[in-house]
Structure 1
Amino acid sequence: MIKVASYNMRKGIGLDRRRDPGRVLSVLGELDADIVALQEADRRFGTRASAIPPHMLEEHSDYVPVALDNRPLSIGWHGNALLVRKGAEVEESHALHLPTLEPRGAVAATIRIGDTRLRVVGMHLDISGLRRRHQARAILGHVAEGEELPTILMGDCNEWRATGGCLADFGEKHRLVDTGHSFHSRKPVARLDRIFASHHLEPIEAGVHRSALAARASDHLPIWARFKPV
């Protein structure tokens, strides 16, 4: 079994308007996933440093960030980052440049957990429907160019509709996992955060992580899914 999660952490700023990386780490501890895709993991301006200081990740969590060749103080690319449980093997990783007018991107990695190798893509798509579709196709093009692997695509899709748009693009060859409503964390009414998986992976259970801490730590609740390789 492999458990993955996706979390728009809002640069560590909670609903109380305080930046509290320790609170985010506590939410990650509650999730207890093998792989986590983070969105808004870095500050937006200046050096775009990680909203969670790397030493806090190392000292106070079971996760390590997937290395990317980018800004030295950042753990991601345009706010997207991947975390893996300590002990997982990261075979390769890279940033994906997406077509956009805004600072958007995605990150991808090939990861081995136990006997399973899989590709994971973390993403945060545009608020424009047309650009979202362009970005989805760019991500799918990247996946199609690589070796055939069990693949998970997850992140904040910024898609309010239940069908169509980028959901249809991703859904052509990947199954949309029913996780639930994750936005707004105070009163979840939208499924902006999504997880898709290739046919190599069977979803066993999935959901939205609801806890008192998660409801305060960001305006999004984390989503998660557990898979069995087939």
Structure 2
Amino acid sequence: MTLTVASYNIHKGVGSDGRRSPQRILDVMDEIAADVVLLQEADTRFGVRRSVLSGEMLAACGWVAAPLGDHAALGWHGNAVLVRGAARLTHCAPIHLPALEPRGAVLADVMHGQMPLRLVGAHLDLSGLWRARQTRAMVAAIASAPGNPPELVMGDFNEWRGRGAALDELARHWREIRLPASFPARLPLGRLDRAFASHALDVADAGVHATALARAASDHLPIWVRLSA
């Protein structure tokens, strides 16, 4: 049995061509055939933080959203968790991060068959100083969460360098899954989207989803990790 988890900064549904099309985002997620998707920038940024993906659109594709947002938003500071098929949410919670601008992370525990998994999705600050503070807060929140399932941490970490204080903090607790560049989508140069996994997890495969549709649907390409039970 395998479980495929994707992480995708959907840029509020606005593609690299400047056109807003939430349906393209859902079509890319279907291409990946993921069981769980961690989204960043899933909600509008200002005013009433409305979800980019409507409940009707999600339901039509079989997605169930973790209850993290209010009546209008899908996620927490734009970070959302979607599951479908045999993947079942058992717990979810927002992670409060120190920030100058609205940033956050989310935690979700999932069962897939007999496979328990703790997922963390994050979108970190543009500032290296704040990223370091945010990763320390995130690690502390994960450590204090109930239970002890193996963890997979994914998201847009906004780090262009191969290392840095934020990535070093993550690497002290989990192993990084090496992935190609994912940003910008049309000509990827930066490894902004990353994944870190518990040593107990059996990572069967991982990659960046770089189809023609994905290059157009957002300014980031989605990343994915396939786990074996």
Query: What band does the TM-score fall into relative to the shorter chain?
Result: over 0.9
Where in structure 2 are the equivalents of 1:19-168 lying within 5 Å?
19-59=20-60, 61-68=61-68, 70-146=69-145, 147-168=147-168
What per-residue deviation string (whole Å, max 9, x for no partner) do you get for residues 39-93 of structure 1?
000011222110011111111x13211112x321111011100111234221111
Structure 1 stretches lacking a partner, 5+ long: none
Cα deviation, residue 227, structure 1: 1.6
Task: Name the SS of the counterpart of 2:129 in structure 1.
Answer: helix
Alignment coverage as a number of residue pairs? 227
CA–CA distance in 2 between the matches of 1:169 and 1:227?
A: 23
TM-score (norm 1): 0.95
Cα deviation, residue 38, structure 1: 0.4
CA–CA distance in 2 between the matches of 1:180 and 1:203?
A: 16
Cα deviation, residue 182, structure 1: 0.2
CA–CA distance in 1 between the matches of 2:116 and 2:141?
A: 17
Cα deviation, residue 34, structure 1: 1.4
Query: Contact between 1:179 and 1:224, CA under 8 Å: does it hold in 2?
Result: no
Where in structure 2 are the equivalents of 1:1-12 lying within 5 Å?
1-12=2-13
Where in structure 2 are the equivalents of 1:198-209 lying within 5 Å?
198-209=198-209
CA–CA distance in 1 between the matches of 2:225 and 2:12?
A: 23
Query: Contact between 1:64 and 1:86, CA under 8 Å: does it hold in 2?
Result: no
CA–CA distance in 2 between the matches of 1:10 and 1:80?
A: 11
Query: Contact between 1:201 and 1:227, CA under 8 Å: does it hold in 2?
Result: yes
TM-score (norm 2): 0.96
CA–CA distance in 1 between the matches of 2:86 and 2:228?
A: 19
Amino acid paired to 1:83:
L
Amino acid paired to 1:180:
P
Amino acid paired to 1:173:
H
Query: Contact between 1:41 and 1:50, CA under 8 Å: does it hold in 2?
Result: yes
Query: Contact between 1:42 and 1:74, CA under 8 Å: does it hold in 2?
Result: yes
Amino acid paired to 1:41:
A
Query: Contact between 1:2 and 1:34, CA under 8 Å: does it hold in 2?
Result: yes
CA–CA distance in 1 between the matches of 2:16 and 2:180?
A: 21
Query: Contact between 2:62 and 2:84, CA under 8 Å: does it hold in 1?
Result: yes
Query: Contact between 1:111 and 1:117, CA under 8 Å: does it hold in 2?
Result: yes
Runs of 4 or more off by more than 4 Å in structure 1?
none
Query: Contact between 1:179 and 1:225, CA under 8 Å: does it hold in 2?
Result: no
Structure 2 stretches lacking a partner, 5+ long: none
